[in-house]
Structure 1
Amino acid sequence: MTLQRADVSVPDDLTSARAKLLYLYLSVRGQATADEVCADLDLDKGTVLSITGTLREQGYVRREDGQYAV
């Protein structure tokens, strides 16, 4: 398996480390369900739903067909 480097930047107004992590994760992965985010980032579902909700309100993340994407 060959890994490629992704050129991704984090929006300046994201201050939470977990929000930055989730944003970067989705930027690189493309899309993921809440359960996939929980498993891959070792976060509980309440935390993931809270962060994705905030990122959606700020316009950084969208939810389509049960998956989150940047």
Structure 2
Amino acid sequence: MVVVPLTTSNEMQARQMPKGVPETVESARGKLVYLFLQFHEGATLDELRDGLDLQRITLFSVLKTLEERGVVDRDGETYVTARPA
């Protein structure tokens, strides 16, 4: 029996290796949230809360700052890293 991978090794590595955090993200929590969103290709507030074990009020503050700095966008209930201009 031949097993065919759904993705190539390079595609998996590219998905698993975050591209980095923009210089405008200074706080440790901001970097953590940004990298989580980047790795998971977006997340809801509940997914962030469960995945990072942070309180909602903390996440609201961090996400607001990231949105104001233009590095995170909101698409409905999902937060995503902003695409470079």
TM-score (norm 1): 0.89
Of the two, which has the highest radius of gyration? Answer: 2
Change (3 A) 1:42 1:7: closer
Higher relative contact order (CA 8 A, sep 6+): 1
Describe the SS at the equivalent of 2:35.
helix
* 1:41-56 equivalences in 2 (<5 Å): 41-56=52-67
Unaligned runs of 5+ residues in structure 2 are: 1-8
TM-score (norm 2): 0.74
Deviation beyond 6 Å, 4+ runs, structure 1 = none
Paired residues, number: 69
Q: CA RMSD in A?
A: 1.5
Describe the SS at the equivalent of 1:14.
coil
